[in-house]
Amino acid sequence: MKAAIVKKAGEPPVYAEFEEPQAADGEALIEVAAAPLTHVTKARASGTHYSATAAYPFVAGLDGVGRRPDGRRVYFIMPRAPFGSMAARTAVDASHCVPLPDAVDDVTAAAIAIPAMSSWAALQERAKFKPGETVLVNGATGTSGRLAVRVARHLGARRVVATGRDRAALAALGADTAVALEQDDAALTHAFVGEFERGVDIVLDYLWGSSAERLLAAAAKIGKPLRFVQIGSIGGAAIPLAAHTLRSFPLEIMGSGIGSIPQPRILKAIGEVMGAAAAAGLTTPTNPVPLAEVAKHWPSLDPRSRTIFLCRDV
């Protein structure tokens, strides 16, 4: 079968023949339709991700959409090594498959599963969100952040606040309030303090770095209870956190991701995302391309559009 094969750490995958997977007991053989290009997939291929394997060659891709042998259409995650999602077929634990509703097409499902799950699970599993609360999405102009605004609204947020560097993108999100991060420190601090005065119950943080540091400092000035959920760190891997910030108000800081939520709960969240996708408008711009063009599209990740590889044999 054809697949995107990683032959050596640090080298991009090549489109070539790979051995056919055979489903073991408890596994499903998936005819893959679509697989997304993600930061984690690229990091695993380069050997830099904590979950990267030293065994080469292997097929790239951690998740995708396809059909089981009985024809059921599913989203799947974590195929058995050395197989991956960027192939005509793959083998995956049957419990790692989530049925898909007819209202969500293959490309959309592949594009939104992980990004939308990140906020859905953060709110439901980690922050224990209650309808009527206010959610601030820090870093709302990327794929995950844009979907987080819609997820929070769908789950019943009273008010949604969005932050980001792209003012035009912020204006198009439909949040109740938008705070541009590209302003001087005094203006940004004033904006953040104003939001916490109006009331913020939960922060979903996709950035970390300096914006998270300023958010926590502003929240401490107001002193109202806050659940701060750390999800992504494209703004920086570490921040200085003053001890008095932790002591001065009722603050809960928690992470949300694969290590902090049991896999069955992550799969449950993905199933709920897919069930709500049509009603909540959980879509994102996509760039569907043939898997044969993996070498061409592998080098870059466009934050404005998700690259989805179409994997069916032709």
Banded pLDDT at 178 (limits 50, 70, 90): very high
CATH number, domain with residue 222: 3.40.50.720
Question: Residue 45 has what pLDDT?
Answer: 78
Distances (CA, A) of 98 to 31, 70, 136, 215, 242: 14, 14, 29, 36, 43
Residue 75 tokens, joined? 């989203």
In a domain? residue 43: yes
Distances (CA, A) of 68 to 32, 61, 150, 165, 268: 9, 18, 30, 42, 19
Same domain? For 304 and 214 the reply is: no
Global confidence as pTM: 0.93
Same domain? For 25 and 76 the reply is: yes
CA distance 188 to 190: 5
Same domain? For 125 and 240 the reply is: yes
Same domain? For 8 and 91 the reply is: yes
Report, in angstroms and rounded to the nearest whole number, the Rg of the chain calculated over CA atoms. Answer: 20
Question: Residue 285 has what pLDDT?
Answer: 94
Q: Count of domains in the chain?
A: 2
Main-chain dihedrals φ then ψ at residue 271, nearest 5 degrees: -60, -40
Percentage with pLDDT > 70 across the chain? 97
Banded pLDDT at 8 (limits 50, 70, 90): confident
Same domain? For 85 and 149 the reply is: no
pLDDT at 259 over 90: no
Among 263, 285, 232, CA closest to 112? 285
CATH number, domain with residue 21: 3.90.180.10
Same domain? For 23 and 125 the reply is: no
Query: Residue 148 in contact with residue 174, Cβ under 8 Å?
Result: no
Same domain? For 89 and 204 the reply is: no
Q: CB count, 10 Å around CB of 107?
A: 19
Same domain? For 210 and 294 the reply is: no
The pLDDT tens digits of the residues spanning 61-72 come to: 999 999 999 999
CA distance 207 to 137: 10
Question: Residue 53 has what pLDDT?
Answer: 65
H or E segment and range at residue 64: strand 63-67
Banded pLDDT at 314 (limits 50, 70, 90): very low
Same domain? For 178 and 87 the reply is: no
In a domain? residue 65: yes
Cis before 250? omega within 30: no
In a domain? residue 147: yes
Same domain? For 294 and 168 the reply is: no
Task: Choose one of 234, 255, 276: the last residue of a domain.
Answer: 255
Same domain? For 247 and 152 the reply is: yes
Question: Residue 50 has what pLDDT?
Answer: 62
pLDDT at 23 over 50: yes
Residue 60's domain comprises 2-99+284-310
CA distance 134 to 113: 24
In a domain? residue 84: yes
Task: Choose one of 236, 255, 274: the last residue of a domain.
Answer: 255
Question: Residue 82 has what pLDDT?
Answer: 95
Same domain? For 161 and 193 the reply is: yes
In a domain? residue 275: no
In a domain? residue 180: yes
In a domain? residue 269: no
The pLDDT tens digits of the residues spanning 275-300 come to: 999 999 999 999 999 999 999 999 88
The pLDDT tens digits of the residues spanning 260-273 come to: 999 999 999 999 99
Question: Residue 111 has what pLDDT?
Answer: 97
In a domain? residue 186: yes
The pLDDT tens digits of the residues spanning 31-78 come to: 999 999 988 888 777 765 566 666 889 999 999 999 999 999 999 999
